[in-house]
Chains A and B, each alone.
Chain A
């Protein structure tokens, strides 16, 4: 009896000593090993979302391309073209926010730069591109438009926005300038945009590698969301607001992403909505499976707060660069980025306690 008691005591003690064993980094298996959860379903839902966004954006680009032919028919046609362009931009922002293709296939890395020249982290209207476009589009320029628009950057959304809005000019002013050269240029631009978006859409349709390895897919997705939130904070809000190290105390509304069309705020909204959609369509479930519910909740709350803040602007952000709300947006986007970092961190750890390693 006594021996059995001692054996039992030792056994229980051994179990308690084992408590420290969980203080170990679980690495790539941290998420998936949690309760043996299968995350393939939520990942598939997220991929469907990515595919749908790419598909919708391509359709919009094709519709836009069709509208270009009538761009100088009437002011109404020209305004319809501008509206469709804005629609395309907002749809493309969702594709851009969730752009995982470059991590799945290196050939897809440069496509976003071909779609939009101002997509590499620097929105500088004083770069030569816009001046060069002004020269190319000038009625006095005799170089054939196909030759003049030789750079991919000219034929991107950046070029099209310049052509349709220039320096926040009214539709009437620009409609008056819509000669054949500009219509041809717009056509070349939309065709190029359609081609590039077609490459993205085809890739997502034909490539299923995102669904092959959950660990890698989640890695790619989370990194992309963290990058997207950082870009929102840094160059979509911080740079124009004079809040980043680069432009500290030097705000300039012309640095807003869509200063010319005054749709920067809507672009931010589209990006945040893409983040929300990913969370609601699978990421939250994945976080739950990995024991990171509180981190996912924090992200959800932050996205909702940011969306509310974006919706509270009463005038275009391009006219409110010094508004305190810009600083709030910057801080909120920073907290969103931190929340993604916290989620990445949380998904990679098991329960973390103590290691008994005294020697």
Chain B
């Protein structure tokens, strides 16, 4: 699993599990919080098919945090006001980069990936049942 995949898939597990693993990282590595989790906004540009240009639909509220684990930078950004997710995932991102608890992080992210796959599959099954082919009269 790539480091970039962690941020989304780790959001799919319970924040308590993230917190426990982040604590474990703290036991075997040195965690420095460079930027406490803060809410910020991201502009959201949208492709405009009428002129092949783009425009802004609005902004998305995101929470982000920056840490160092054994002097290796870790970062996370999550959608919405979720400070606890941002901080814990930033720690795990830094730890993954620093080679601390990599297997545990990979396992937790894989669990998140599976949770997301199951949710998506359940949703697609329901959506698929509404697929229609109309007959012309």
State yes or no: do A and B come from one complex: no
